[in-house]
Amino acid sequence: MRVLVTGGAGFIGGNLAESLVRAGHDVTAVDNLDPYYDTGIKQRAVDAAAAAAEDGAGSYEFVEGDVRNAALIDELVGDAAVVYHQAAQAGVRTSVDDPRKPNAINVDGTLNVLDAARETEIERVVLASSSSVYGKPEYLPYDENHPTTPVSPYGVSKLAADQYARVYHEVYGLPTVSLRYFTVYGPRMRPNMAISNFVSRCLNGEPPVVYGDGTQTRDFTYVDDVVGVNRQLLRDDAADGEILNVGSTDTIDIRSLAELIRDELAPDLEIEYAAAREADAEHTHADVGKARALLGYDPSTTIREGVREFIRWYRANRDWYEPLVLRS
């Protein structure tokens, strides 16, 4: 199958593109290589997918381009049977500093993808949304009917994008599925995330730093589980027109996460605390009942298993990855 992955050099998009190539699909990845975080990580993602193609599975083409370029997106979408729209300006705190950039990429860029797709006979557009759309919890776990009151411009932009996808399905009959990801982590993750920072500091004999009092909770989702549900949507139409939570169903508070990583790597270190960061959510916890009912989604990686797997990957790739973490 011919597949387009926007944001295909990013963390989730890169892992997805590589997995699809290894499964024998013909993948085009488009990414603007924005230096929001070090582009060296993105180049590793491109190289991994290209290596998968050289192994004799599917084919792979990388296009450096931007989802804000409507003409380019028209051309690329027109050649695809399925589009995975992973491209986005990530970062809650970044969006607080500059709300217009995430709007231009996450909203206008999404409209470019949707407009291009509705002019074709495309089988499906799968959109990467975010748990940031929910904002402050009125109850937990979040189900898809929970009120959406995002607390950051990033969350607002992702909410607008997944609602556009829903409306394009209802108004134009475009097959769309929006997946609201809950704190995805794993190999090649952005270097400025809590897990990568905790691992780096502990490996270097420095105490992990928790922002706030550490009682904030997160539903951390291992990237392989996210890739798996995306791949199922290549041919499964059971969720067309739907918005689905994709989480782990498991939560951990940030202090316990820091302790888990500390105990794995440097048990004698003490946890340090710093002021909480602006616009960070207090709690996230996914109800994945809808994804389970429609797609049989069953996340298989616990936070302990995922952290250990990430630590193994980090150690194997420490020479190039750790300098990026230390600079973040």
Q: How far apart are CA 81 and CA 84, in angstroms?
A: 10
Per-residue pLDDT at 321 exceeds 90? yes
The band of 279, judged by pLDDT with boundaries at 50, 70 and 90, is low
Does residue 106 contact residue 132 with C-beta atoms inside 8 Å? no
pLDDT over threshold 80, residue 281:
no
The single residue listed with the structure tokens 């998968």 is 52
Distances 79 to 26, 109, 114, 197 between C-alpha atoms, Å: 11, 18, 14, 40
Over 90: is that where the pLDDT of 327 sits?
Answer: no
> Of 93, 191, 177, which is closest to residue 129 (Cα–Cα)?
177
Interacting residues of 204 by C-beta distance below 8 A, sequence separation 6+: none
Q: Report, as an integer, the average pLDDT of 193-200.
A: 96
Of all residues in the chain, the percent with pLDDT exceeding 70 is 99
Active site residues: 154
Class of domain 2-181+223-247+287-299: alpha beta
Q: State pTM to two decimals.
A: 0.96
Which sign does the torsion angle of CA 32, 131, 18, 222 carry?
positive
What rounded mean pLDDT belongs to the chain?
95
Distance (Å, whole) CA 132 – CA 190: 17
State pLDDT tens for residues 69-106. 999 999 999 999 999 999 999 988 889 999 999 999 99
Average pLDDT over residues 250-277: 95
Please tell me the distance from the alpha carbon of residue 10 to that of residue 6, in angstroms, as a whole number: 9
